[in-house]
Structure 1
């Protein structure tokens, strides 16, 4: 059988405000997600023995703890299906980069296996399952640019501009848990509206903490700020700047040092995963 091959696109947090910390330790936040035309790729083949086998190992990540495997097994447990799958991954998105690699892989697994196994759970149920795996997973399941609130689970679809982005990838893996537990992290930003975000933008409350703790990120921001207003995405460590067209982004990318990996990608308000799935339905 021909494998089902699906993209797992990256995302950017165009802003991230932290409003406070909840009694359960999670943070109330407001953020604006947009997808990129760039990401990982997963392929799925059905198995009749009910096993979930991820053929692609990631350094330092145990097979059974990988979000891809956890997503597949969660879907099995939620539905009682006896289907299994062999899964292969082409990994392009960095671990700890703040561009959603693991969360996007998990969402692609949920949607891909829902299709492959003929479960037809629907977006709402799959998004609820995704939230069990991580706060960012539902936005990838929904597949539309969104203003997110709460811990990131309350999503309002939005349609910001879709520029080209230059994304620089400092060679560090930033710990989300470390940044959100940092005593110096701002946790009292004033709530804002979707309209004001789309009209005026916003900042990333995590950026000062990450810059202080990760010199590689600070240096990347300094370099990119020479050409464009640069920001951190999520808790990092990737940083990005927006450009009106690919040529401008490529021009700046060519001027960055070889020691700083980077890529250029188009912003998109509809996930490439959902566009691909629509062609299969």
Structure 2
């Protein structure tokens, strides 16, 4: 069963197909380590039009089954989709479900693919099984799955705070981007550990929330990227380039080819070049040599 919205459609046999969008951290400030061991962050995050696809087909024997095609999904039982399905089922649902995940968003790239899959599973099974979970209950389940999961319950753009669980929607004008999908991973834990080493003893004032973050505190960003892309900051970039030195070389090549600033999403290593219009994004793609072009995608702000 699907509710109205572009993220879901009903197909044969009562199955429902849902789309799980990737995210871009337009800015990411790391403000220090908290007493609970997590990092205090401030981030402006936008969902974009690169999707994993999940198909949910009900079954009557109470079993939960997951099949994955496309990019690597890791061990099925440890996948966030299965963990999310178990959480919903543990609310007292006797039914089961077959889930097929078509993976297009690479893992460990800073695009939040696994977190988006988990949030989509929560929404899909709440709808399929008619569990009656409200927004607050879904958000609580999402927070148990990971710091990035709750942001995918809102959209298209949000401001994140705390360890990532403090999420508030913001208005954002449509933008376009050329997204480079790396052929290497950037393990999040290793990037944060390297960040801690690099920032040990640094002046905390240098990592105060940036001007771009303060601009959207009013809840709206209506200017096109050409007006603010030079202000974007990702505090994890030096650490990610230390963990994966090829990332720095990649960013240099993309900057030389496109003539624009090249930003990193999350803990890397996906990077992107922002554009005001689709025509500008296509022009950026046209400038790229073939070896870079084959790993690039033109994306835009997700509409939901």
TM-score by length of structure 1 reads 0.89
Q: Which runs of 5+ in 2 are unaligned?
A: 1-12
Q: Tell whether 2:288 aligns with 1:256.
A: yes
**C-alpha separation in 2, matches of 1:171 and 1:129:** 32
Aligned-partner SS, 2:301:
strand
Partner Cα distance (1:82, 1:136) in 2: 29
How far does residue 120 in structure 1 lie from its aligned partner after superposition? 2.4
CA distance in 2, matches of 1:231, 1:66: 28
Larger deviation: 230-239 or 48-57?
Answer: 48-57
Corresponding position: 1:223 with 2:253: yes
Match of 1:171 in 2: 183
CA RMSD of aligned residues (A): 1.9
Q: Is the 8 A contact 2:155 2:169 kept in 1?
A: no
Q: Whole-Å Cα distance in 1 between the matches of residues 34 and 154 of structure 2?
A: 25
**Partners of 2:73 and 2:59 in 1: CA distance:** 26
Q: Is the 8 A contact 2:147 2:164 kept in 1?
A: yes
User: Once the two structures are superposed, what CA deviation does each residue of 1:76-109 show, in whole Å capped at 9, x if it has no partner?
Assistant: 11x1111211001111101111111000000110
Find the aligned partners of 2:160 and 2:199 in 1 and give their Cα distance. Answer: 20
1:155 aligns to what? 167
What SS does the corresponding residue of 2:287 show, helix, strand or coil? coil
d(CA) in 2 for partners of 1:195, 1:127 = 25
Highest RCO, 1 vs 2 (Cα 8 Å, sep ≥ 6) = 1
- Distance in 2 (CA, whole Å) between partners of 1:46 and 1:75 is 14
**Runs of 4+ in structure 1 over 4 Å off:** 197-201
State the match for 2:27 in structure 1.
Answer: 15
Q: What SS does the corresponding residue of 1:158 show, helix, strand or coil?
A: strand
In 2, Cα distance between equivalents of 1:240 and 1:167? 4
Query: Structure 1 residues 3, 117: CA separation in 2 closer, same or farther (over 3 Å shift)?
Result: same
Q: Distance in 1 between matches of 2:88 and 2:137?
A: 10
2:214 paired residue number: 195
Q: Indicate conservation of the 8 Å contact 1:107/1:130, yes or no.
A: yes
1:83 has 2:89 as partner: no
TM-score (norm 2): 0.83
Aligned length: 269
CA distance in 2, matches of 1:82, 1:2: 17
CA distance in 2, matches of 1:34, 1:113: 24
Q: What are structure 1's unaligned runs of at least 5 residues?
A: 272-281
Q: CA deviation at 1:185?
A: 4.5
**SS state of the match for residue 19, structure 1?**
strand
Which of 225, 240, 248 in structure 2 is aligned with 1:210? Answer: 240
CA contact (8 A) 1:179 1:185 kept: no
Inter-partner Cα distance in structure 2 for 1:239 and 1:147: 20
Range that drifts further, 97-106 or 153-162: 153-162
Deviation at residue 253 of structure 1 after TM alignment: 1.7
